[in-house]
Amino acid sequence: MGRHNSIYFSGGNFVRRRTTSSDHPYYWHLEDIVGVHSPRIKFGRRPRNNNQLRWSKYSQVKPVLPRVQITGGAGFVGSHLVDQLMIAGHEVIVADNFFTGRKRNVEHWIGHENFELIHHDIVNPLFIEVDEIYHLASPASPPHYMYNPVKTIKTNTVGTINMLGLAKRVGARVLIASTSEVYGDPEVHPQPETYWGHVNPIGPRACYDEGKRVSETLSYAYARQEKVDVRVARIFNTYGPRMHMNDGRVVSNFILQSLKNETITIYGHGKQTRSFQYVSDLVDGLVGLMASNYSLPINIGNPIEHTIEEFAILIKKLVGGPSKIEQTSAVEDDPQRRKPDIKRAKTYLGWEPKVSSLGLKLSGEFSKMD
């Protein structure tokens, strides 16, 4: 069964709903004018001109891709998502307050007719018309989210409420970028989506960990009460071009220290583990989840596990140079093991990482780090 959209005219607005068709999967159907709203009907944007629709039943026109909003779209992950959606032909609106995002990450799209960049903090409401919302806005590295913990909490609570409210008003599907940090310092390994986590609610990382947990709670409250169409991605450690060199995370720390011939510092004993995915794999997973019919949380991460010590040795080998590897005092509430169970992603999205070796990608990353 193919999926297409049906267009209705009601109350001066064009109204769109998803239906299925076995014979015309890519047709727009202009059906009878209706004067009542059905729960199955979703509001869409008014066509810019009548040439976008041919006023005959079952008239074939070019498929219209969803208009997409990305909060935090000028950040590391968001900018790569912008690239993929723009190349696919979507209209993309980026909302970013540039706390960790940077305009240069998306400057190559400025001036394109399908791209719009808005300097906006999503703790304040945003009134636009879109079909899909990727809510990625939030500092994600410990130094950044600990810099202003109250602001981090507001972004992940008030900001999420604003995006869910927008989705409710315009009938958009919304994808919430959650995190593996909802599992805290896990007592279950690897971590399936059914695991409720082991989080310190008052520790230094709690502003981010608990902020994301509340973000998920809000999402499903809106789904149950307001029938908002939600998707939740639990994102595991990610690396790639456009990362901040000084963001305090393992990949950028080790690369920067190696390039400067400084001592590579490992917090704690170095036996704690992480699973690193390349940013292109993550973006593929996010786009696949948005397009899917699966609404429960899904882990998006690479299940290949490395100790921090192994990773430091790999970075030193790839970069070369005289850097030594030394251990320093452990960080409070630092998770000891982190590895995603990706059975759901494989089953419901047909997704798994394509970049399986850190070395293959890392060897070409050093010149691309900002």
More confident residue, 64 or 133: 133
Q: What percent of the chain has pLDDT over 90?
A: 52
- Whether 90 is covered by a domain: the verdict is yes
Count of structural domains, the chain: 1
pLDDT band at 20 (very low <50, low <70, confident <90, very high): very low
Ordered alpha helix ranges (H), 13-119: 76-88
Specify whether 183 is catalytic. no
Q: Taking a C-beta distance cutoff of 8 angstroms, is the pair 145, 208 a contact?
A: yes
- Whether 2 is covered by a domain: the verdict is no
Beta strand segments in the chain, E: 2-10, 13-21, 28-30, 42-43, 67-71, 91-96, 115-119, 132-135, 173-179, 229-235, 238-239, 264-267, 273-275, 277-278, 298-300, 305-307, 325-328
pLDDT band at 365 (very low <50, low <70, confident <90, very high): low
CATH of residue 178: 3.40.50.720
- Whether 220 is covered by a domain: the verdict is yes
- Whether 124 is covered by a domain: the verdict is yes
pLDDT band at 12 (very low <50, low <70, confident <90, very high): very low
pLDDT(308) > 90: no
End-to-end Cα spacing for the chain: 46
- Whether 272 is covered by a domain: the verdict is no
Closest CA to 143 of 253, 234, 260, 262: 253
Mark 23-50 as b/e (b = at least 16 C-beta within 10 Å).
eeeebbebeeeeeeeeeebbbbbeeeee
What is the pLDDT, as a whole number, of residue 263?
Answer: 86
* Span 209-236, pLDDT tens digits: 999 999 999 999 999 999 999 999 999 9
What is the pLDDT, as a whole number, of residue 368?
Answer: 54
Residue 180 belongs to domain spanning? 67-238+277-303+339-354
Backbone angles phi, psi at 350, to 5 degrees: 65, 30
- Whether 29 is covered by a domain: the verdict is no
What is the pLDDT, as a whole number, of residue 370?
Answer: 59
pLDDT(48) > 50: no
Q: pTM of this prediction?
A: 0.79
Residues forming a β-bridge with 192: none
**Mean pLDDT for the chain overall:** 81
- Whether 253 is covered by a domain: the verdict is no
- Whether 259 is covered by a domain: the verdict is no
Q: Annotated catalytic residue: which of 8, 27, 183, 208?
A: 208
